[in-house]
Copies of this chain bind each other. A is one copy, B any other.
Amino acid sequence: MIPVKGYAAPKANIPLAPFKFDRREVGPHDIQIDIKYCGVCHSDIHQVRDEWGGSIFPMVPGHEIVGTITKVGSGVTKFKVGETAGIGCFVDSCRHCPACLAGLEQYCEVGMVATYNGRDKEGQPTYGGYSNQIIVDEKYTLHISDKLPLSGVAPLLCAGITTYSPLMQWKVGKGHKVAVLGLGGLGHMAVKLAASLGAEVTVLSTSASKKVDAEKLGAHHFVVTSDAEQVKAVNNTFDFIINTISAQHEYNFYLQMLKLDGTMILLGVPPEAPTVAAFNLIGKRRRLAGSLIGGIKETQEMLDYCAERGITSDVEVINIDYINEAYERMIKGDVRYRFVIDMASL
């Protein structure tokens, strides 16, 4: 076994603290990564607090992982020692179901193996990226370009692919009016990516204070949703709304902003299921859709796309002993736009 250092939540609602554990030896198809940076996703907080139920403790969170390959198994063909690699939200899947065969491992019918708070095929708990080493099968490992600052690349592994995948699936591009709802970790990536694809991007926000940032990120328009006049002006206008909000909110209010055949894509899960007025969809042939992260193939495409275009996440790099305070600030929305842990601080 390989001894690893990390930070773990010992139980729900107990602060994270230093934690030592072991990882498996590097198998023939495995890669060992010396973790450099790990992004902090809002879902880390949900799981650490057991808000979704079934959390496994102690829990080492983290699924936005980048680092340097220090060892590869004898059967590894696509990676070499010394290269930069990334790990996203899952580290395995059944590999045989139609979803896996289609490169959509995130929708694996047996269930993907989450990077942390999951169980591997031997039934052992998985531990994530708030740690100094990780061992993963090369099939679930991503190539990372060295062109971009690694701290800003880490969040692409979750926030990046979660917003990129629906933009690809719905073929968003020039001529489309795209609204982004919620300007957080996901939302700021949605703005950057949609704008890079040539779409006309509007940020919808309750807070006028985000306007300057929205424009810096590449948004063309900004709508304060508490202003009835501004809302009226955008009703029936958007081809797509990328809805990144996980807090409680109304779907119907935003659905009316879609034009004929427009689609609102849900990326966040509010605590209580919102209502959907049928005529809001029927009257304009609108659509409400969901999307979950992305498959390995598409994640690699996204990483390559971002490397070519110089797209990274806007991050605030922190030491790992700041993680509990970082969580408190995230809950208040006080981060622009992603905390990333510098693992040298471990």
> How close is A293's CB to chain B, nearest CB, in angstroms?
10
A284 touches B251 (CB 8 A): no
> How close is A257's CB to chain B, nearest CB, in angstroms?
15
Interface residue? A252 (CB, 8 A): yes
7 interchain pairs (CB within 8 A)? A99-B260, A251-B276, A267-B282, A269-B279, A279-B290, A280-B290, A287-B290
- Given A107-B260, A277-B273, A278-B270, residue A292 in contact with residue B287 (CB < 8 A): no
* Residue among B99, B260, B288 making CB contact with A288, cutoff 8 Å: B288
B281 touches A288 (CB 8 A): yes
Q: Which residue of B lies closest to A280 (CB)?
A: B290
Interface residue? A175 (CB, 8 A): no
- Given A99-B260, A277-B273, residue A266 in contact with residue B282 (CB < 8 A): yes
* Residue among B270, B275, B286, B288 making CB contact with A273, cutoff 8 Å: B275
Interface residue? A81 (CB, 8 A): no
Q: Give the distance in Å from the alpha carbon of A264 to the alpha carbon of B292 in the complex.
A: 18
Q: Give the distance in Å from the alpha carbon of A322 to the alpha carbon of B307 in the complex.
A: 72
- Can you list, as one digit per residue, whether each of A99-111 has a CB less than 8 Å from chain B (1) or not (0)? 1000010010100
A287 touches B285 (CB 8 A): no
Chain B residues in 8 Å Cβ range of A291: 282, 285
Interface residue? A289 (CB, 8 A): yes
Chain B residues in 8 Å Cβ range of A290: 278-287
* Residue among B260, B277, B278 making CB contact with A268, cutoff 8 Å: B278
Interface residue? A274 (CB, 8 A): yes
Chain B residues in 8 Å Cβ range of A124: none
Interface residue? A169 (CB, 8 A): yes
A286 touches B289 (CB 8 A): yes
Q: A267-B282, A286-B289 are in contact. List 10 more A-B contacts (CB 8 A).
A: A169-B285, A272-B275, A274-B276, A276-B276, A276-B288, A285-B289, A285-B290, A285-B292, A287-B289, A287-B290
